[in-house]
Amino acid sequence: MKRFWLVMLSLGLVLAFSASAMAVDVKFSGSFYAAGMYLDKTNFYKAEASNPVYGSEGVSTAFYYQRLRVQTDFIVSPGLKLVTRFDAMERAWGAPRSSAQQVDAATGMPYNKRESDSSGTAAENENIAFDWAYVEWTSPIGLVMAGYMDDGAWGTEFGDSSAPLAKLQFVTKAGPVILAAYAGKTFDGSSTGKLANTKMTDNDTDKYVAFADYQSKSVSAGFLYAFYNIKSYKGFGATYMAPLAAYGFPTGNLVGKAHAVNPYAKAKFGPVEIGAEICYVFGNVSYEDGLNVGKDISLSMLTAYLGAKGDFGPAYAGVQLAYVSGDDPYTSDKWEGGQIGGGFDWNPALIMFNRDRTYWAGSLAGYGSTLPSGANNGADSASGLFGPAGMTNAYFAQGYVGGRPVAALDIRASLSYAQADKKPYYAGVQPVYLNNSYGYELDVTGTYKITNNLSYMLGLGYWFVGDYFKANTTNSLKDDYLLINKLTLTF
């Protein structure tokens, strides 16, 4: 008899768990792309007898690459869901897998480098890496979210670097205005079972954000404020930090507090759309010990963007203007640029300031012993105190025209010009770079919509490289061009 009741109880439990599981509604969405790229040269050097120190011209490179991205929403009940997202097989076809553990060039210490736009390492993304996992609850007074979720996208596409951030967020609505606030953890060095490091236990960098966003049919505008409490480098000695100076990092043990104000506005008047955005970062950072003891540095960095597009049925035209302040090499007590920029999501050209090109094909080096941040290597500048920067130290202007000869085909041509806001020191000392022109780039792309969910893009970009990349030399430069084709599936 006991056996009978035990069997019945087991069956009851199975049915109960099954009923709960069947109550969950699961929704999938995502994308997959496969692309091929040919880049004519991997640097801007032009081989010549008077330039033995830089060696020969860069080689050409051609390869295929792909990525699968899947978002899954688990609808537990009306108003309650769990959201996850992962990237898988993000890799060049046939290329060797990345090592999960890398070695820091400055210190020789091993570390696991997280991708700037992912919660995982490069090696994990080449297999599978989960970026999001958060709960979303629609409460009576607003939306509550907790976990790893998307961050870094706001206003216009300029300045956006969508990347996962661990945060607690609250969103509510007052008429046409969305109000939100969140607290995010960008770095935590606390000693745990996974990280037994008491030296870094206070090395936390926290981000606090509040914004208001007005939305209507023809106009949208918003204002965002962010506060950063920076202690990631606390306790790092001069031996560790000094070698990183060549990469734009300050030497010494940096701590500080920074503020960012970020308004934007977008409007549509008939066939014309206009968008504008400004971001200003201010505050102070200082050194606890190590090099430059007691030296304070004030922050004052600015980005600005203005874009306009007129869409007249089968044809359209537009212009983009952008500015990202550069760091003045003559003001050692001020930091005017290098930590905020055009963002990873904004890719105005196929080669210049294009994060995808940089991620897959690498940096493009000019003359000089260091790479100017964000300039010749597209959107490859290292993640700074405020996340991935993208284009830095630049004035940028672009005009473009496009047409749709048939409904499924979009052909676009653009001409871009950029120059440096500030000319850095050559090799870290005087004299400064002699020129500030990054050059011109001409791009032509065609995108054909095969089905509602499948599209194919073919593009050609040619960069007339500017004399900025001569640094303070008289060496000749080599122009560069790129061919790309990309098949994209969305679901």
- Over residues 297-354, the pLDDT tens digits come to 899 999 999 999 999 989 999 999 999 999 898 888 898 988 889 999 999 999 999 9
Q: How confident is the model at residue 23 (pLDDT cuts 50, 70, 90)?
A: low
Whether residue 61 is predicted with pLDDT greater than 90 in this model: the reply is: yes
Six token digits for residue 295: 């030296």
Whole-angstrom Cα distance, residue 392 to residue 372?
9
Nearest to 158 by CA among 13, 305, 30: 305
By three-state DSSP, how is residue 4 classified? Answer: helix
Whole-angstrom Cα distance, residue 158 to residue 383?
17
Cα 397 from chain centroid (whole Å): 20
**pLDDT of the residue at 369:** 57
Q: Give the domain ranges of the chain.
A: 23-490
Whole-angstrom Cα distance, residue 205 to residue 199?
15
Dihedral sign computed on CA atoms, order 36, 356, 97, 165: negative
Whether residue 32 is predicted with pLDDT greater than 60 in this model: the reply is: yes
Cα 313 from chain centroid (whole Å): 32
Q: Which has the higher per-residue pLDDT, 458 or 98?
A: 458
Q: How confident is the model at residue 236 (pLDDT cuts 50, 70, 90)?
A: low
Q: Where are the alpha helices (DSSP H) in 72-121?
A: none
What residue type is 99 in one-letter code? S
| Mean pLDDT to the nearest integer, 90-96 | 94
Q: Which has the higher per-residue pLDDT, 346 or 362?
A: 346
Residue whose pair of structure tokens reads 């041509």 in the numeric block: 413
**Whole-angstrom Cα Rg for the chain:** 25
Please name the residues in contact with 8: beta carbons below 8 A apart, sequence gap of 6 or more: none
Task: Answer yes or no: are the C-beta atoms of 165 and 184 closer than 8 Å.
Answer: yes
Please name the residues in contact with 9: beta carbons below 8 A apart, sequence gap of 6 or more: none
Whole-angstrom Cα distance, residue 442 to residue 401?
12
* pLDDT tens by residue, 119-145: 888 889 999 999 999 999 999 999 999
Task: Answer yes or no: are the C-beta atoms of 289 and 252 closer than 8 Å.
Answer: yes
Whether residue 434 is predicted with pLDDT greater than 80 in this model: the reply is: yes
Cα 292 from chain centroid (whole Å): 31
| Mean pLDDT to the nearest integer, 375-403 | 75
Q: Which has the higher per-residue pLDDT, 370 or 407?
A: 407
**pLDDT of the residue at 20:** 47
Nearest to 129 by CA among 101, 71, 90, 87: 87
Q: How confident is the model at residue 54 (pLDDT cuts 50, 70, 90)?
A: low
* pLDDT tens by residue, 171-202: 999 999 999 999 999 877 676 655 555 556 66
CATH topology of domain 23-490: Porin (2.40.160)
Whole-angstrom Cα distance, residue 334 to residue 283?
10
Q: How many CB atoms lie within 10 A of CB 140?
A: 5
Nearest to 133 by CA among 118, 116, 114: 118
The H or E element spanning position 286 is strand 272-287
Average pLDDT for the chain: 84
Q: Pairing relation of β-strands 177-188 and 128-139?
A: unpaired
The lowest-confidence range among 51-60, 165-174, 441-450 is: 51-60
Whether residue 383 is predicted with pLDDT greater than 80 in this model: the reply is: no
The lowest-confidence range among 53-57, 104-108, 377-381, 406-410 is: 377-381
Task: Answer yes or no: are the C-beta atoms of 459 and 442 closer than 8 Å.
Answer: no
* pLDDT tens by residue, 96-121: 888 766 555 544 545 556 777 888 88
User: Residues of the chain with pLDDT > 90: what percent?
Assistant: 58
